[in-house]
């Protein structure tokens, strides 16, 4: 179905044919815009930004680029095309037709899953709202805003499901999604990583590399859902998520490239010397990496989880790449390994695979992450510098699950609390690191100019040059 842009709410779900739903969403729309005005990108309302907007969900043709003021962005509801013959492909309902409505017995569980996903979307906009003031270039400013408007659209995607399939409860949850605030003591966002600050652009690039990648894996698992509207919604969200990860990977990659270039030129790896030259030394970058990685690993939930087993068995949430996995897709009687501590050491323990599906998704995520970090290391080597960024052990700095009670160093060694505390400044960003990175943050808004600590991108967005006027200040 085509997207109707003449409607107040652009959509490809035939909203005009469902007046009740349309009215409910038109009632939520101004509340969303109020939230955007209050919590969205700081001081951005009048800017003309070169943004892409979804115009079709068909492959290859969905993106349209033009100057837009963000409050006028056409946030809408887009589902991937449906397959009328789609079958549930895992769990106890395997082989049955995919659901076009929510089975009563799964209603509250499914609602919780959608709300938890939905809550991350406005949270990241809130976390990033001040970054526009310190952008390293117009190109980066535009990318930040693109990520922000699409996270706003992801919120719309989840709110549509809540309104369309969960009645009054869904409407109430949709209001609450606009009321929680990232980092608020009384009414915080649901998940820990989404209450952390994103104080500087290095943190932003790390966040989009690590935490938006968690989004990719969660959305991929939901894209398998037996509840067809959720599967179709999340499939379309994944096309947007890919850009967010690109912003993170290329962003950190450009920081790495710039530092490595200076290291090679000056023949030094001395952090103090590099700081005096205005670039981010790689040990500091490693500490940022350790922080964002460990905080994001917690988002996958407890290592052993009966909820994860229920979500899978009932068909609500599959595995990453479910269709490509060669097994029975029911997983009864199968085993998987998780880590736990025994006499001060990490040991593996076998548990029913159904209970270990959070861990399984986490492991898929880890493999994807390691590949990305490997690409940064290639950049360092190519510049002629010597340093290797390393993904820490998965038990390092965890706050959720059985590993949270342990103190583990980045290489996987279990330590005493006091020994760990004494060394944490080697592993996690210190106040001094953060103050140094903050000191580099200035506002660069001349087309084609880039802050000293970051290399220009290899190419511009949508094949326009890197020195394009990506944002107009009118
Ligand atoms: Fe998102
Ligand atoms: Fe995202």
Per-residue pLDDT tens digits for 411-434: 999 999 999 999 999 999 999 999
> Quick one: average pLDDT of 84-98?
97
Mean pLDDT to the nearest integer, 394-408: 93
Output the pLDDT for position 63.
Answer: 81
Q: In the predicted model, is pLDDT for residue 2 greater than 70?
A: no
Question: Residue 32: what pLDDT?
Answer: 98
Closest ligand to C-alpha of residue 147 is 2
- Condensed to tens digits (0 to 9), the pLDDT of residues 7-52 reads 789 899 999 999 999 999 999 999 999 999 999 999 999 999 999 9
Q: Which ligand is nearest to the CA of 208?
A: 2
Q: Which pLDDT score, from 0 to 100, does residue 180 have?
A: 98
From the CA of 204, how far away is ligand 2's center (Å)?
12
Task: Give the pLDDT band of residue 320 (cuts 50, 70, 90).
Answer: very high
How much distance in Å is there from the Cα of 245 to the middle of ligand 2?
7
* Cα(215) to centroid(ligand 1), Å: 6
CA separation for the pair 310, 462 (Å, rounded): 43
Of the listed ligands, the closest to the CA of 154 is 1
CA 189 to ligand 1 center in whole angstroms: 14
Which listed ligand is nearest to 153 at the C-alpha? Answer: 1
More confident residue, 61 or 325: 325
What is the whole-number distance in angstroms between the Cα of residue 237 and the centre of ligand 2? Answer: 8
Q: Is the pTM higher than 0.75?
A: yes
Examine the pLDDT at 1 and tell me if it is beyond 60.
Answer: no
Q: Which numbered ligand comes closest to the C-alpha of 237? A: 1
207 CA from centroid of ligand 2 (Å): 9
Question: How remote is the CA of residue 151 from the centroid of ligand 2, in Å?
Answer: 6
Whole-number Å distance, alpha carbon 213 to ligand 2 midpoint, is 8
Mean pLDDT, residues 64-88: 93
**Residue 58 pLDDT:** 74
Residue bearing tokens 């899978």: 312
- How large is the angle between the packed helices 167-179 and 19-39, nearest 10 degrees? 10
Look at residue 118 in the predicted model and tell me its pLDDT: 98
Q: What is the mean pLDDT of residues 394-416?
A: 93
In angstroms, what is the span from residue 147 Cα to ligand 2's centroid?
7
Contacts 24+ apart (CB under 8 A), 458-465: 458/250, 460/139, 461/50, 461/65, 461/139, 461/142, 461/143, 462/50, 462/52, 462/63, 462/65, 464/50
Q: Mean pLDDT across the chain, nearest whole number? A: 95
Contact criterion met (CB below 8 Å) for 197 and 206:
no
- pLDDT for 129 beyond 70: yes
């Amino acid at each position: 179905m085509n997207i109707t842009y003449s409607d107040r709410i652009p959509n490809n779900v035939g909203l005009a044919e469902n007046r009740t739903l349309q009215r409910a969403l038109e009632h939520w729309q101004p509340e969303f815009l109020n939230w955007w005005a209050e919590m969205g990108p700081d001081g951005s309302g009048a800017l003309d930004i070169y943004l892409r907007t979804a115009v079709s969900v068909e492959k290859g043709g969905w993106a349209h680029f033009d100057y837009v003021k963000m409050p006028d962005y056409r946030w809408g509801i887009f589902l991937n095309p449906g397959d009328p013959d789609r079958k549930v492909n895992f769990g106890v309902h395997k082989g049955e037709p995919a659901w076009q409505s929510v089975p009563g017995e799964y209603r509250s569980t499914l609602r919780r899953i959608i709300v938890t996903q939905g809550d991350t979307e406005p949270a990241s906009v809130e976390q990033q709202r001040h970054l526009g003031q310190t952008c390293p270039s117009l190109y980066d400013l535009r990318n930040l805003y693109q990520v922000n408007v699409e996270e706003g659209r992801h919120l719309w995607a989840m709110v549509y499901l809540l309104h369309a399939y969960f009645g009054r409860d869904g409407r109430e949850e949709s209001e609450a999604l606009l009321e929680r605030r990232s980092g608020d003591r009384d009414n915080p966002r649901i998940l820990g990583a989404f209450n952390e600050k994103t104080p500087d652009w290095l943190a932003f690039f790390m966040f989009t590399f690590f935490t938006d990648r968690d989004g990719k894996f969660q959305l991929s698992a939901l894209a398998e859902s037996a509840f067809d509207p959720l599967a179709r919604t999340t499939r379309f969200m994944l096309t947007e998520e890919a850009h967010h990860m690109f912003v993170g990977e290329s962003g950190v990659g450009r920081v790495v490239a710039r530092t490595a270039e200076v290291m090679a030129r000056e023949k030094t790896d001395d952090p103090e010397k590099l700081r005096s030259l205005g670039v981010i030394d790689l040990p500091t970058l490693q500490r940022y990496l350790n922080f964002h990685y460990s905080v994001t690993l917690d988002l996958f939930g407890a290592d052993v989880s009966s909820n994860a087993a229920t979500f899978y068995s009932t068909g609500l949430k599959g595995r990453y790449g479910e269709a490509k996995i060669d097994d029975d897709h029911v997983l009864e009687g199968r085993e998987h390994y998780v880590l736990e501590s025994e006499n001060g050491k990490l040991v593996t323990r076998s548990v029913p695979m159904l209970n270990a599906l959070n861990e399984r998704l986490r492991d898929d995520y880890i493999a994807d992450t390691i590949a990305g970090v490997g690409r940064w290391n290639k950049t360092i080597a190519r510049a002629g510098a010597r340093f290797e960024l390393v993904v820490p052990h998965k038990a390092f700095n965890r706050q959720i699950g059985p590993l949270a009670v342990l103190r583990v160093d980045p290489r996987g060694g279990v330590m005493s609390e006091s020994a760990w505390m004494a060394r944490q400044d080697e592993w996690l960003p210190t106040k001094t690191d953060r103050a140094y990175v903050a000191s580099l943050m200035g506002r660069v808004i001349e087309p084609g100019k880039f802050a000293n600590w970051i290399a220009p991108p290899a190419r511009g967005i949508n094949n326009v040059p890197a020195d394009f006027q990506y944002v107009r200040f009118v």
